[in-house]
Structure 1
Amino acid sequence: MIRKNQEFLTQMYALTDFAFIQFSFLLVWWIRFRSGWIPFSRPLPVETYAMWSFIYGGIAVLAGMMIALYSPKRKKRFADEFIKIIQVHCISIFVLLSLMFFVKEVNISRSYLALYMVTLVMFILVYRYILKSSLKYFRQKGYNRQFVLIVGAGSLGKRFFQNLKQYPELGYEVIGFLDDYQKWDVQEKLRYKPILGTVDDLPKVLEKELIDEVVLALPLDAHYKYAKIIALCEKAGVRTLIIPDFFDYLPARPYFDNFAGMPTINVRDIPLDMAANRLFKRLFDIAFSLFAIILTSPLLLLIWIGVKITSPGPAIFKQERVGLNRRTFMMYKFRSMKVMSPGTVDTGWTTENDPRRTRFGSFLRKTSLDELPQFFNVLSGDMSVVGPRPERPYFVEQFREEIPKYMVKHHVRPGITGYAQSNGLRGDTSIEERVNHDIFYIENWSLLFDIKIIFKTIRNGFVNKNAY
């Protein structure tokens, strides 16, 4: 069976990155100066460009090591790797330009540098994605396994075992449990791996079995045993992971901080709390919304005319919604219902065969075309392209008392579409399921995740059978 040699793989990742950087240099040099596709004046000698490409490769590999780009990736998402690759090459090009300025190398083609950067980042992203997908495939087939021992056969240990079985692509295999009190009954023997002994048998098991990682899944009243267990694992050269008995209260990706010299766990870590992430998301929202508005402008005009012709009243309907940090804003939609009488307060859900709807409005709601004006909400900063769907204040007050963690969704800007909606949770569907999807999105946000949700929304279509 293939055994993972992390040091070897780390070196291979670094060498492959360096090789792709040099391959990009050769390809872009040919495109820019030899293909004839792009006009140019007499370039510097190829040796000059090659020298700076080698320097850039060294800078990029060094930067990658500094921000842990070459750390073990078995448990990590590709989205995390994507962000680190972008960070590495942003840092590296800045260092390269600084060096070129310092030595007064001003004759390098700027168009060459731009094409070079785009090409090499694209190549590295593609090859790493293919490599990660290939490794997942082989691990799922039983190759490149790592072996895990679970200390604690109670509810926590059993839950971890069941969860791990749902991710065969990670390539982990549980060899058994250790527990002082638990004994399997007949059904549990068939469902779980065997209990190999008590916690005191750990040294013998580590010596006898081939184990890569020990997972501590003990209850709170057994935490005093941790120091001894960790010391034994480190003596045997085995990594140790701890699943806290209070993990249900923690986010999907806990963030550790230091407060008054003590390590602390942030119960609600939100990637969009970081200024850089907020900036990237906002720039993406503005660019995407402008593109969407320009692309759909003829359709927007036709719908506006259609609403005006089929029903008296304004074409645009404005409704108060609760957004970022519980602040209210006016959300825009194409009007799909008859104009309400002055003084009427709308606190009801739209139902099937609702008499308030217009015929054209029913079509708009079914196809989600009534949502198109919300791209103007995105431009104004009240909404995002992707995020939890906003709700009316009346229902927010109701749901905050009935649904645990409902208000967490207001830590980010609401969206036109969201993770819940892209998974079919639209219209008359479970509010609890939607909130769970929203919290997962908030805790696992990345720009790549946003793009994935947008493509999934487009692929699934805009027709909503639950929209009334």
Structure 2
Amino acid sequence: MIRQNQRFLTQIYVLSDLLCTLLMFLFSYWLKFGSGLMSHYNTLPLKNYLLWGTIYSFAAILIGFYVRFYAPRRRKSPSYDILKILQVHGLSFLGLLSILFISKEVHISREFLAIFLIANVVGMIAYRYIVKRVLSRLRRKGFNKRYVLILGAGSVGRSFYNNLMQHPELGYEVIGFLDDFQSTHEQENSHMKPIIGTIDDLDDTLEKFMIDEVIIALPLKAHKKYARIIDKCERTGVKTLIIPDFFDLLPARPFFDNFAGLPMINVRDIPLDELSNRLLKRAFDIGFSLVAIILTSPVMLAVWIGIKLTSPGPVLFKQERMGLDRRNFHMYKFRSMHVSDPSTADTQWTVENDPRRTWFGSLLRKTSIDELPQFFNVLAGHMSVVGPRPERPYFVEQFKEEIPKYMIKHHIRPGITGWAQTNGLRGDTSIEDRINHDIFYIENWTFLFDLRIIVKTIAKGLMNKNAY
């Protein structure tokens, strides 16, 4: 079987990236100056372009090492690769433009540079995706395996084994378990690899089998054994990974921090806690909401007239909702019901065929057009385009006692649409399922994730059977 040699694979990836960049350079040069499809006026010879292309290529490699693009990638998802490729080539391109500006090189074709950047990104994503697919198929067939030993046959070790078996494309094979308190699995777990010894048999097991990684899945009371286990593994060159016995309390991607010189596990690491991420999301919110307001202004004007003609009362309906950091704000909507006591609206759910609705309001709610004024909430900073839907304080007080982790949603700005809503969790649906989707979004936020949710919202349409 093919054994993984990370240093060798890293060198292969570096050479492949350089080759890909060279091919994209030649393709871009041909498309701009040789294909006849574009204006081919050129005052510089090929060697000048080749010089800057070479600088760009090596800069991309160096930046790739800096942002850990060439770190072990067996457990990385395709979306991780795409983000890293965009990051590497975006920074490399900005660096190239800076050098061209400083050196006063003004005769390089801007169209060529744009084509070169796009071709690099597309070409790199395509070839990395192909490589990942080929490696996944090889691993499913038994090649390029990594061999794992699990210490602890309790609930943590069994959970890890079951999860690992659901991903054969990762290419991991479990040799067996070591456990001090049982020598065989219970009947319902008989499908698992056998328990081949106790923790004291670790030395002999490492010598007998070719093991790449040892997974420590022991209970908290066994923490005194960790130092000896890790020392034995490191002496034989085997990697050690620890699954904490309290892993079910941790987020999907726990973050290790450092405080007063000591390592700490951040139980709820939120990407939007980083200033750069918050600024990016806020800038997008402002730009998107301005465009949305301009494009939908004729619709909002028509709705304004329709509400005035069909029922007495104000056009806009404002309601107190709980937002970022548990602070309340007034969320705006087009009024879709007859005017009533505000305390009723704040403490009563909307139900199917609700008698409080106007006929025009029913249409607005079914098409979600009543939500359009919330783009002004986004401009004011109360809300975001994408995020967990805000709830009324009256119901928040109930849910926070009944539903675990409900208040986590208030760590970020609420949104007009969200991951829960695009998965059909709107109206009379499970609050627990909504919170689980909201927490997944909060812990896994990326700018591309926001774009995905927006595209999914538009693609699914605004009509929703639960919107009443």
Q: Tell me, yes or no, if the aligned pair for 1:147 and 1:172 is still in contact at 8 Å.
A: yes
Q: CA deviation at 1:298?
A: 4.2
Q: Tell me, yes or no, if the aligned pair for 1:79 and 1:449 is still in contact at 8 Å.
A: no
Q: Which stretch of structure 1 is more off in the superposition, 167-176 or 403-412?
A: 167-176
1:198 counterpart residue number:
198
1:144 counterpart residue number:
144
Distance 1:151 1:428 in 2: 45
1:427 counterpart residue number:
427
Q: CA deviation at 1:71?
A: 0.7
Q: CA deviation at 1:338?
A: 1.4
Q: Which structure 2 segments of 5+ residues have no match?
A: none
Q: CA deviation at 1:164?
A: 2.1
1:382 counterpart residue number:
382
Calculate the aligned-residue CA RMSD, in Å.
Answer: 2.5
Moved over 6 A (4+): none
1:457 counterpart residue number:
457
SS, match of residue 265 in structure 2: strand
Q: Which stretch of structure 1 is more off in the superposition, 23-32 or 45-54?
A: 23-32
Q: Which stretch of structure 1 is more off in the superposition, 268-277 or 281-290?
A: 281-290
Q: For residues 165-199 of structure 1, what are the alpha-carbon distances to aligned partners after superposition, in whole Å with 9 as ceiling and x for unaligned?
A: 33333232322111010243552452322111111
Distance 1:62 1:10 in 2: 13
Distance 2:424 2:61 in 1: 42
Distance 2:367 2:136 in 1: 38
Q: Tell me, yes or no, if the aligned pair for 2:335 and 2:361 is still in contact at 8 Å.
A: yes
Q: Counterparts of 1:246-257 in structure 2 under 5 Å? A: 246-257=246-257
Q: Tell me, yes or no, if the aligned pair for 1:2 and 1:145 is still in contact at 8 Å.
A: yes
The amino acid across from 1:368 in the alignment is S
Q: Counterparts of 1:201-350 in structure 2 under 5 Å? A: 201-341=201-341, 346-350=346-350
Change (3 A) 1:424 1:298: same
The amino acid across from 1:167 in the alignment is H
2:399 counterpart residue number:
399
Distance 1:241 1:368 in 2: 48
Q: Tell me, yes or no, if the aligned pair for 1:334 and 1:371 is still in contact at 8 Å.
A: yes
Change (3 A) 1:120 1:451: same
2:438 counterpart residue number:
438
1:413 counterpart residue number:
413
Q: Which structure 1 segments of 5+ residues have no match?
A: none
Q: Which stretch of structure 1 is more off in the superposition, 415-424 or 14-23?
A: 14-23
Identical counterparts, % of pairs: 63
Q: Which stretch of structure 1 is more off in the superposition, 143-152 or 108-117?
A: 108-117
Q: Tell me, yes or no, if the aligned pair for 2:178 and 2:197 is still in contact at 8 Å.
A: yes
The amino acid across from 1:358 in the alignment is T
Q: Tell me, yes or no, if the aligned pair for 2:152 and 2:179 is still in contact at 8 Å.
A: yes
Distance 1:139 1:221 in 2: 36
SS, match of residue 191 in structure 1: coil
Q: Counterparts of 1:56-95 in structure 2 under 5 Å? A: 56-95=56-95
1:7 counterpart residue number:
7
Q: Which stretch of structure 1 is more off in the superposition, 249-258 or 81-90?
A: 81-90
Aligned length: 468
Change (3 A) 1:54 1:193: same
Distance 1:70 1:204 in 2: 34
Distance 2:290 2:26 in 1: 36
Q: Tell me, yes or no, if the aligned pair for 1:79 and 1:448 is still in contact at 8 Å.
A: no
Distance 2:342 2:177 in 1: 68
Distance 2:465 2:140 in 1: 36
2:26 counterpart residue number:
26
Q: For residues 334-364 of structure 1, what are the alpha-carbon distances to aligned partners after superposition, in whole Å with 9 as ceiling and x for unaligned?
A: 2221122477553111112211112232233
Q: CA deviation at 1:322?
A: 1.5
Q: CA deviation at 1:390?
A: 0.8
Q: For residues 386-420 of structure 1, what are the alpha-carbon distances to aligned partners after superposition, in whole Å with 9 as ceiling and x for unaligned?
A: 21111112222222232222221111111122121
Change (3 A) 1:138 1:311: farther
Q: Tell me, yes or no, if the aligned pair for 1:79 and 1:446 is still in contact at 8 Å.
A: no
Q: For residues 21-70 of structure 1, what are the alpha-carbon distances to aligned partners after superposition, in whole Å with 9 as ceiling and x for unaligned?
A: 22332233233334455557543112101111011101110111122101
Distance 2:177 2:223 in 1: 17
Q: Tell me, yes or no, if the aligned pair for 1:139 and 1:169 is still in contact at 8 Å.
A: yes
TM-score (normalizing by structure 2): 0.91
Change (3 A) 1:344 1:143: same
The amino acid across from 2:99 in the alignment is L
Q: Tell me, yes or no, if the aligned pair for 1:150 and 1:216 is still in contact at 8 Å.
A: yes
The amino acid across from 2:43 in the alignment is P
Distance 2:31 2:294 in 1: 32
The amino acid across from 2:218 in the alignment is L
1:184 counterpart residue number:
184
Q: For residues 59-93 of structure 1, what are the alpha-carbon distances to aligned partners after superposition, in whole Å with 9 as ceiling and x for unaligned?
A: 11011112210111122233333333333233323
Q: For residues 74-124 of structure 1, what are the alpha-carbon distances to aligned partners after superposition, in whole Å with 9 as ceiling and x for unaligned?
A: 222333333333332333234334433454433323343233223322332
Q: Which stretch of structure 1 is more off in the superposition, 122-131 or 377-386?
A: 122-131
Change (3 A) 1:450 1:132: farther
Distance 2:27 2:301 in 1: 46
Tell me if 1:47 matches 2:78: no
Change (3 A) 1:273 1:343: closer
